[in-house]
Amino acid sequence: MIKKPFYSFLTITTISLVSIIYLIGLPTFTPNVVILGILFLAALTLTTYTFSERTVNDENPNKFVRMVMGMTMLKFFLCIVGVAIMLLTLRKSFHKPDLYILMGFYLVFTLGEALFLSKIARK
């Protein structure tokens, strides 16, 4: 069993979102693009959480705040780069619902990360 609950949350959320998108397969969005976006968001969330978690027990509490804010900005800007790559790659076959769905999933992953980071920061 996984000792840290964030990793369980991330695994369960990623698997369930990918499964739902794969099983639904509505014609209004492209499942492959959305699934790749979910996996990109999961990897990015895991990276930002890991870096932020390392600074929780530091003597300087400002270091943790700076790291969380920096990782949040990095995650946001990398998502913008991902959207730009998606737009440039899919020019003609780009569907706006793909982007809207991924924006919602960005919120799910970011809120989950913030929830778990705030819990470990309180201890």
Residues 6+ apart with CB under 8 A from 29: 95, 97, 98, 101
92 DSSP 8-state letter = G
Instruction: Give residue 77's domain range.
Output: 5-122
pLDDT of residue 108: 94
Q: Is 82 helix (H, G, I), strand (E, B) or coil?
A: helix
pLDDT of residue 41: 94
Q: Name the nearest CA neighbour of 10 among 120, 112, 81.
A: 112
Tokens representing 20?
């739902």
Report how far residue 41's alpha carbon sits from residue 65's, in angstroms, rounded to the nearest whole number.
22
**What average pLDDT does this structure show over 1-18?**
84
- The model carries a pTM of 0.88
Q: pLDDT (tens digit, 9 = 90+) per residue, 49-102?
A: 999 888 888 888 889 889 999 999 999 999 999 999 988 988 888 888 888 989
Q: pLDDT (tens digit, 9 = 90+) per residue, 28-51?
A: 778 888 889 999 999 999 999 999
Q: Please tell me the total count of domains within the chain.
A: 1
Report how far residue 67's alpha carbon sits from residue 50's, in angstroms, rounded to the nearest whole number.
11
